[in-house]
A and B are shown apart, each in its own frame.
Chain A
Amino acid sequence: MSISADDETLQIFLDESKEHLDGIENDLLAIESAGENVDEDLVNKVFRAIHSVKGGAGFFAFNKIKDLAHAMENLLGLIRKRELAATSEIISLLLKNADTLNLLLNNVENQDSTDISNSLTALKNALTGNLPQEKKQSVEKMLDVKLPDGRTIFQVSEFEIEEAKRAENGGDNVFLLTFDLIKDIQRKDKTPYHIISELIQLTAFVESKLDLEAVGMLDSFSENITIPFYILLTTNMEAGLIEDFVEIENSQISIITIGSGKEAKAAGPGPKASQPELTPPLTADTASTPEPVQTSEPEPAPVEKNNSGEEADLPTSPSGAVHTESSIRVNVKVIDQLMTLAGELVLARNQLVQNVASGSLNDVEKVSQRLDIVTTEVQDAIMSTRMQSIGIVFGKFHRIVRDLARNLGKKIDLILEGEDVDLDKTIIEAIGDPMTHLVRNAADHGLERPQERREAGKSETGTLRLTAAHKAGQVVIEIADNGAGIDPIKLRDKALAMGIYTAAQLDEMNDQALTRLIFHPGLSTAAEVTDVSGRGVGMDVVLSNLSKLGGVVDVDSVKGRGTTVRITLPLTLAIIPSLLVSEQGEQFAIPQINLVEMVRIAARDFKNKVEMIGDAAVMRLRGELLPLVRVRDVLNMKIPNYNDSAAENLSKTEDEDKHETGRQAAGCCETVDNAVNIAVVAAGDFHYGLVVESLLDSAEIVVKPLGNHLRECRTYAGATILGDGHVALILDVVGIGQKIRSTGMETVGKEREAKRITDMVDKENEQSLLLVGNGPGEQFAVPLGLVERIEKIHPSRIENMGDRRAMQYRGGTLPLLALEDNLNLLTKEETETYYVIVFRIRDREAGLIVSRIHDIMDVSATVDEVTYQQPGIFGSLIINETTTLLLDLHSIAAQNMAEYTHDETEALVADTCNAEKGMQTVLVVEDSKFFLKQIQGFVEEAGYKSLTAIDGQDALEVLEAHQDLVDLVLTDIEMPKMDGFGLTERIRSDPRFKDLPVIAVTSVMGEEAEERGRKAGIDEYMIKLDREQILDRCEHFLTQGRQAAY
């Protein structure tokens, strides 16, 4: 039998069968876990799937597939009727045979080489062993469906007929349908397979046969030939319906009656000549029936675990791998959309051709817009035909994990999330293997045996969680287990023993870097390579395979807690959004997927922001140090007559002054417009800055692979052709990142770590300030948190009434304050416009007139509270080498209008609305006087009473003294004597205060700190000094109480 690829019918059958089989693995597992509570729908679904495979296979004369499917179907029938429990042995048997079916379907041409006799025996034993005695016989009892001429066309077991009668869509009517291959099928533009497919939907199909024998021999040949095609089925439909359905006449349907001696009846009114009958074979025929299975053997649970040598018979298919499909199913809507778009495209082309021919260039512009739109839509539509949900890959893992758990004697819960995330087909196909490897790894090396888990104080069942999610145009897949985690020390020892790194190098690595060593070829923490994972394919292969897909792999592991492998993948490979940059007249593309942000530094700021650490340039970006490299250095672009010695310095600066080098670095990076363009890119968790000459544009580029000779090049990821026909190389951000890292940038990383820690401490006192000017040369700062608005006004708007100033503002009068009125300061500069800083005092607004607004800055507020001490001034600090006075707006207001604030205080007591609020007291704990004042300020503004304490110890004393008064505690974390954690712990342990809401206001961030805070009993963790937010939370806790947070 020869099968060619162009055989459409066969291809349809194979595709459909694979589709059917795809789902049943998980369904079988679900049936197994349902145990006693048989979900009939589910069993039916599996039954139907196998049944369809059987039907098709029978027609194509794939007898092995048919027999196997048939035997499986029988077992499933029993499960459905609850005559057979879906034990894990039975399910294993079915799973294994489903694999075999898959294998056979994937290789229909060479079926003969596969021996399924053992599988069949096992299935049959399982069937007969679980059947009641009387039914056992029906399995053996073969019935012949005979034609009037005495020829037997079908041989089916009584059991099979009985099963088919009770099957879904089945019924008591047993029909034999006779088609004429020429008249009923070929001339009606059908194929036998289509007829079978149709009938399977409606009836319980038993068997089909193309009866060439009926044509007879050459010598008995007559002109009136028919080539009959028979189908045997059971149904609850009447013959008439079937006739209509498959378009045959009633003479072509025969009713089969079972039992010897009984006459078969034809369905139609006129009895037809060719009346088949279904009789048990005569004794003489028995020899021709297949060797009966020995039912005498008493086998209660006939499926043995180590069933003969079956494993050896069949090459076990790698069930985790998603095999490459040659065809794909596409929603008709998408096809329709594509058709419409194709039409649009043709129209646009016509327009373009016409316009170009007539030379009307104005219209060309319009057409190009149109083309642009249509092309984008076509691209989207075509992409969507290739998108498939990752569930296809995830689904396989139910089975894999189940089998692994059984083999390894572990208990594993598999949790899948985000199965509906769509990915490009090529990626879906390619991630199967790496993911299988990772899952195997997690199950084998990650999760511990039940006993070990119990000893470690964990539940016996380990959890393996696979998640997929969209994140910023990428797909993030996580494989997380809560197992033993990776021991960085072990890896370190192994790496040392294998001589991959020197001890000194290893000492420099932090735990995360050590953990990443598992991606190194040949490294594994497993004491020995087991059968399950580590079959030659190591993590290094996983890494390189995923990198080929443009993916990034990260590992997070906490010893004893588990391991998470995070894979970040692009949605598609063919077209990627990119940033185009240029260097030395050449254009390069940086994939958007790697791009974090773009920074442009003006030349004058360069020395502040760029420093040299070792011989590497780094930039300060929001408190982080970012290694910088110039594209031209990475690519070794030689610049003719390049005489800027600074460039040399960038690479070989020694112990020079940092600022000096910084400036030199600036010099070399400067472009014509005196600014430096930096593309901040990410290679995994490693961020660095690429200094480029100019940033051009963002564009969607079509990736063309580099030639073979450049395959190993780690600097370029590919090439693309730009709109103007030029070729642009795509920079391999990950590759360049590795290059940088290997050339001593690690030190930067370490410095960065150290810097982060100091920054964290610094941030504790960091504050956003609004810098303003009033008199010449004087600079003042106002905490930004207090500023409501800034209004730009003309001096004429200020109304002077006696010694008071005010302006009309939003339908009311806004009292205005001037700095020189009360403070001993220079007079305001005469300018054309003034600025009014509107702030809130209690529940009224007031404005402060200043002459200039300088800047807003985050300042580490080391406030000198002595030198310039006077009412209205908190103190002084130095910002940008200028002494700046920090204004105390509240005290200025109080000074200027004593009665104003006085009124307010009275109003507070008198105002009934605020009465309740007024009763509530907030204890503010803060060691910095400056912050203390601010927080106290806005707490009081909001209408609460306040008490203050300068550290935890002090706070406890205050609490003790006013134990009934305090309703809420706002505390800093970092404080002398007793910190915020300690304070909260003490509060919680005291029965009097345990229900007191505690809000931490701090800038010590990080999950660890938050976690610690939560443990101590802090109700809310406020990261920044955000007045609105703090007040909001205060209000929340004061009205709802502590429990409200939960």
Chain B
Amino acid sequence: MNEIKREGDRAVLKPGEDIVSAMAEKILKSELQELLSQEIKELEIDMSTVGMIDSIGLGVLIATHNTLSKSGGKLKVSHVSEEIYDLFKTMSLDRHFDVQAAE
């Protein structure tokens, strides 16, 4: 299950599993959609439990970023595993939103 913590206009979402196809699209997307409808300015996605992400997952993250940007919010992806971190780097996504590698 995805864990969500809220604190004013900040929120931290911690996906419970890998962000791939079905899970990404259905569960995460709808949860994010719901979350963002509540005037969130800073959203952190804590990836500590995420070991894999596919193109749809990436799309969800980018869409989240786009949605947030439109309303002046910011996306931060934290505790990213080395593999995923490299992926973000390769695709230069880290130049568009904040990506923080796992310690």
A contact set with B: CB distance below 8 Å: 1-2, 7, 9, 59-61, 181-182, 185-186, 191-193, 210, 212-213, 215-219, 221, 223, 225, 227
With A212-B65, A217-B67, A218-B29 as contacts: A191 and B92 at CB distance below 8 Å: yes
With A212-B62, A218-B67, A221-B25 known, 14 other A-B pairs at CB within 8 A are: A60-B92, A60-B95, A182-B58, A193-B92, A212-B66, A212-B93, A213-B66, A215-B62, A217-B70, A218-B32, A223-B25, A225-B56, A225-B62, A227-B62
B100 to A, closest residue via Cβ: A2
- Segment with Cβ contacts to A, from B3-11, B12-20, B83-91: B83-91
**Contact of B96 with A182 in the complex, beta carbons under 8 Å:** no
A152 CB, min distance to chain B CBs, angstroms? 16
The 7 closest A-B pairs by CB, nearest first: A225-B59, A215-B62, A182-B55, A217-B67, A218-B63, A221-B63, A218-B67
**Contact of A186 with B96 in the complex, beta carbons under 8 Å:** no
Provide the bound-state CA to CA distance between A210 and B93, in Å. 9
Provide the bound-state CA to CA distance between A210 and B58, in Å. 14
A-B contacts, 8 of them at CB < 8 A, read A182-B55, A185-B90, A185-B91, A212-B96, A215-B66, A218-B66, A227-B58, A227-B62
Q: Count contacts on B: residues with CB < 8 A to the other chain.
A: 30
Any A CB within 8 A of the CB of B49: no
Any A CB within 8 A of the CB of B94: yes
With A212-B66, A216-B63 as contacts: A59 and B96 at CB distance below 8 Å: no
Flag B70-103 by CB within 8 Å of A: 1 or 0 each. 1000000000000000010111111110111000
Partner among B25, B29, B91 whose Cβ is within 8 Å of the Cβ of A227: B91
Provide the bound-state CA to CA distance between A463 and B63, in Å. 65
**Contact of B60 with A2 in the complex, beta carbons under 8 Å:** no
B29 CB, min distance to chain A CBs, angstroms? 6
**Contact of B92 with A59 in the complex, beta carbons under 8 Å:** yes
Any A CB within 8 A of the CB of B33: yes
**Contact of A217 with B66 in the complex, beta carbons under 8 Å:** yes
B contact set with A: CB distance below 8 Å: 21, 25, 29, 32-33, 36, 55-56, 58-60, 62-67, 70, 87, 89-96, 98-100
With A218-B29, A218-B60, A221-B59 as contacts: A186 and B91 at CB distance below 8 Å: yes
Provide the bound-state CA to CA distance between A41 and B87, in Å. 40
**Contact of B66 with A219 in the complex, beta carbons under 8 Å:** no
B25 to A, closest residue via Cβ: A223
With A210-B96, A221-B29, A223-B25 as contacts: A215 and B59 at CB distance below 8 Å: yes
B39 CB, min distance to chain A CBs, angstroms? 15
Tell me which of B25, B92, B95 has the highest count of chain A C-beta atoms within 10 A of its own C-beta: B92
A222 to B, closest residue via Cβ: B59
Provide the bound-state CA to CA distance between A193 and B91, in Å. 9
B9 CB, min distance to chain A CBs, angstroms? 18
Give the chain B neighbours of A1 by CB distance below 8 A.
94-95
A210 to B, closest residue via Cβ: B92
Provide the bound-state CA to CA distance between A218 and B64, in Å. 6
Give the chain B neighbours of A212 by CB distance below 8 A.
62, 65-66, 93, 96
A213 to B, closest residue via Cβ: B66
A215 to B, closest residue via Cβ: B62
Give the chain B neighbours of A223 by CB distance below 8 A.
21, 25, 56
**Contact of A216 with B56 in the complex, beta carbons under 8 Å:** no
Give the chain B neighbours of A216 by CB distance below 8 A.
63, 66
Give the chain B neighbours of A2 by CB distance below 8 A.
94, 98-100
**Contact of B92 with A192 in the complex, beta carbons under 8 Å:** yes
Give the chain B neighbours of A210 by CB distance below 8 A.
91-92, 95-96
Provide the bound-state CA to CA distance between A223 and B58, in Å. 11
Tell me which of A210, A217, A218 has the highest count of chain B C-beta atoms within 10 A of its own C-beta: A218
**Contact of B90 with A186 in the complex, beta carbons under 8 Å:** yes
Provide the bound-state CA to CA distance between A595 and B78, in Å. 62
B51 CB, min distance to chain A CBs, angstroms? 17
A149 CB, min distance to chain B CBs, angstroms? 14
**Contact of A218 with B96 in the complex, beta carbons under 8 Å:** no
Give the chain A neighbours of B99 by CB distance below 8 A.
2
With A215-B66, A217-B67, A219-B33 as contacts: A7 and B89 at CB distance below 8 Å: yes
Give the chain A neighbours of B94 by CB distance below 8 A.
1-2
Provide the bound-state CA to CA distance between A228 and B60, in Å. 15
Give the chain B neighbours of A61 by CB distance below 8 A.
95
Provide the bound-state CA to CA distance between A2 and B64, in Å. 20
Provide the bound-state CA to CA distance between A78 and B87, in Å. 41
Provide the bound-state CA to CA distance between A227 and B92, in Å. 12
A227 to B, closest residue via Cβ: B62
B53 CB, min distance to chain A CBs, angstroms? 11
A607 CB, min distance to chain B CBs, angstroms? 78
Give the chain A neighbours of B55 by CB distance below 8 A.
182, 225
Give the chain B neighbours of A186 by CB distance below 8 A.
87, 90-91
Give the chain A neighbours of B63 by CB distance below 8 A.
215-218, 221, 225
Partner among A191, A213, A215, A221 whose Cβ is within 8 Å of the Cβ of B90: A191
Give the chain A neighbours of B67 by CB distance below 8 A.
217-219
**Contact of B96 with A192 in the complex, beta carbons under 8 Å:** no
Provide the bound-state CA to CA distance between A619 and B66, in Å. 87
B30 to A, closest residue via Cβ: A218
B70 to A, closest residue via Cβ: A217
B101 to A, closest residue via Cβ: A4
Give the chain A neighbours of B93 by CB distance below 8 A.
212
Provide the bound-state CA to CA distance between A225 and B61, in Å. 12
Provide the bound-state CA to CA distance between A217 and B67, in Å. 5
A6 CB, min distance to chain B CBs, angstroms? 9
Provide the bound-state CA to CA distance between A7 and B93, in Å. 13
Provide the bound-state CA to CA distance between A1011 and B67, in Å. 87
A1024 CB, min distance to chain B CBs, angstroms? 74
Partner among B60, B65, B91 whose Cβ is within 8 Å of the Cβ of A181: B91
A193 to B, closest residue via Cβ: B92
Give the chain B neighbours of A7 by CB distance below 8 A.
89
B94 to A, closest residue via Cβ: A2
Tell me which of B25, B29, B62, B65 has the highest count of chain A C-beta atoms within 10 A of its own C-beta: B62
B90 to A, closest residue via Cβ: A191
B41 CB, min distance to chain A CBs, angstroms? 16
Provide the bound-state CA to CA distance between A213 and B21, in Å. 20
Give the chain B neighbours of A192 by CB distance below 8 A.
91-92
Provide the bound-state CA to CA distance between A212 and B65, in Å. 9
Give the chain A neighbours of B32 by CB distance below 8 A.
218
**Contact of A218 with B33 in the complex, beta carbons under 8 Å:** yes
Provide the bound-state CA to CA distance between A204 and B87, in Å. 29
Provide the bound-state CA to CA distance between A9 and B90, in Å. 8
Provide the bound-state CA to CA distance between A635 and B81, in Å. 60
**Contact of B89 with A9 in the complex, beta carbons under 8 Å:** yes
B22 to A, closest residue via Cβ: A223
Tell me which of B56, B63, B64 has the highest count of chain A C-beta atoms within 10 A of its own C-beta: B63
Provide the bound-state CA to CA distance between A193 and B90, in Å. 9
Provide the bound-state CA to CA distance between A191 and B59, in Å. 18
A180 to B, closest residue via Cβ: B55
Give the chain A neighbours of B62 by CB distance below 8 A.
212, 215, 225, 227
With A7-B89, A217-B66 as contacts: A227 and B59 at CB distance below 8 Å: yes
Provide the bound-state CA to CA distance between A212 and B60, in Å. 11
Give the chain A neighbours of B90 by CB distance below 8 A.
9, 185-186, 191
Provide the bound-state CA to CA distance between A225 and B64, in Å. 13
Tell me which of A193, A212, A213, A219 has the highest count of chain B C-beta atoms within 10 A of its own C-beta: A212
A219 to B, closest residue via Cβ: B33
B59 to A, closest residue via Cβ: A225
Give the chain A neighbours of B65 by CB distance below 8 A.
212
Give the chain B neighbours of A185 by CB distance below 8 A.
90-91
**Contact of B70 with A221 in the complex, beta carbons under 8 Å:** no
Give the chain B neighbours of A9 by CB distance below 8 A.
89-90, 92
A229 CB, min distance to chain B CBs, angstroms? 9
B42 CB, min distance to chain A CBs, angstroms? 16
Give the chain A neighbours of B25 by CB distance below 8 A.
221, 223
Tell me which of A219, A221, A223 has the highest count of chain B C-beta atoms within 10 A of its own C-beta: A221
**Contact of B95 with A218 in the complex, beta carbons under 8 Å:** no
Provide the bound-state CA to CA distance between A1 and B60, in Å. 21
Give the chain B neighbours of A213 by CB distance below 8 A.
66
Give the chain A neighbours of B33 by CB distance below 8 A.
218-219
Provide the bound-state CA to CA distance between A210 and B88, in Å. 13
